[in-house]
Structure 1
Amino acid sequence: MIQKPFTAQSLREVLQWGLHPDSAPHTHQEIAEWCSRYCQVHEEELERSGDKSSALRIADDVDAQWELFLINTYSGAELQRLDFSKVRLPVEWFAGWLAKLKP
């Protein structure tokens, strides 16, 4: 589990790990799970403002794309026995999310 505060700066660092999965301290699965928790933490903020920050939109997209990637790549039987820690999203996606993340 990634132990980082749920800030835009932490999101940037987590997404950087996704670019380099061979040397990253966390898997793409752990990155997606962290992004899911990021969204849960900021859900109240979204309910108040009604508008997603760019960081929240990106974290939400990472979480959604992880789920879609699994569903679209593996059969139900494969998913039942899959070691999710070995699954890797395309690194280009991480580059795209980083490019969209406002400094």
Structure 2
Amino acid sequence: MFMLNVYKYSNENLKKAISLAINNQITHKELVDWCFHYLNDVYFKDDEDNPLDDRATKIVLDIDTQWEIYISNTFALSELQTLEFETVKMPIEWLKKWFDLINY
């Protein structure tokens, strides 16, 4: 069970999760997991009661997508087989950009 599961899906909690990742209070994997769970629990089910606005939803989609691309472009297949994903960090500039976008 990851730490962010206590945070309900909201723009404010996405902002908080990104901030926690920037400040190394959670792993980048935990941030990605929160986004992944939101996508599976709400977004891909076309839930009409979507708790995130369009901007936040785009940020969540970007975080999830960029993580996958970053992992596949950064590590060889042999590394991925034993990689501890909790140790992987995306470029901090990406996190800061997402944080700025959620505050816009």
1:30 alignment partner in structure 2: 30
Q: Which residue identity does 1:33 align to in structure 2? A: D
* Runs of 5+ unmatched residues, structure 1: none
Alpha carbons of structure 1 residues 102 and 53: separation in structure 2 relative to 1, 3 Å: farther
Q: Is the 8 A contact 1:20 1:91 kept in 2?
A: no
Counting only pairs closer than 5 Å after superposition, residues 87-102 of structure 1 correspond to structure 2 as: 87-102=88-103
Runs of 4 or more consecutive aligned structure 1 residues displaced over 6 Å after TM superposition: none
2:20 alignment partner in structure 1: 17
Q: Which residue identity does 2:88 align to in structure 1? A: V
How many residues matched?
Answer: 97
Counting only pairs closer than 5 Å after superposition, residues 53-64 of structure 1 correspond to structure 2 as: 53-64=54-65
1:14-38: CA deviation from partner (whole Å, max 9, x where unpaired): 00012112xx0x2111110111112
Q: Is the 8 A contact 1:27 1:86 kept in 2?
A: yes
Q: Is the 8 A contact 1:29 1:87 kept in 2?
A: yes
Two-structure CA RMSD over aligned residues (Å): 2.0
Q: Is the 8 A contact 1:12 1:101 kept in 2?
A: yes
- Identity, in percent, stands at 27
TM superposition shift of 1:91: 1.0
* Runs of 5+ unmatched residues, structure 2: none
The alignment's TM-score, normalised by the length of structure 1, stands at 0.84
TM superposition shift of 1:60: 0.9
2:68 alignment partner in structure 1: 67
The alignment's TM-score, normalised by the length of structure 2, stands at 0.84
1:42 alignment partner in structure 2: 42
TM superposition shift of 1:67: 0.7
Inter-partner Cα distance in structure 2 for 1:9 and 1:42:
17
